[in-house]
Amino acid sequence: MDFCSIASGSSGNCIFVGTDHTSVLIDAGISGKRVTAGLHSIGRKPEELDGILITHEHSDHIKGLGVLARKYGIPVYCSAGTKKAMLDQNMLGKVDAALFHEIVPEANFCLKELEICPFRVSHDAAEPLAYRLSGGGKSVAVATDLGYYDDYIVGYLKALDAVLIESNHDVNMLQVGTYPYYLKQRILGFKGHLSNDNAGRLLGEILHENMKAVMLGHLSKENNYEALALATVCSEITMGDNPFRADDFPIQIAKRDEPTQLIAV
**Each residue of 180-213: pLDDT tens digit?**
999 999 999 999 999 999 999 999 999 999 999 9
Tell me the pLDDT tens digit for each residue of 61-77.
999 999 999 999 999 99
Tell me the pLDDT tens digit for each residue of 84-132.
999 999 989 999 999 999 999 999 999 999 999 999 999 999 999 999 9
pTM over 0.95: yes
* CATH code for residues 2-264: 3.60.15.10
pLDDT range class, residue 225, cuts 50, 70, 90: very high
For residue 28, the model assigns a pLDDT of: 98
Are 130 and 119 spatial neighbours (Cβ–Cβ below 8 Å)?
A: yes
pLDDT range class, residue 262, cuts 50, 70, 90: very high
**Arithmetic mean of pLDDT, 213-236:** 97
Residues in a beta bridge with 24: 17, 51
For residue 101, the model assigns a pLDDT of: 98
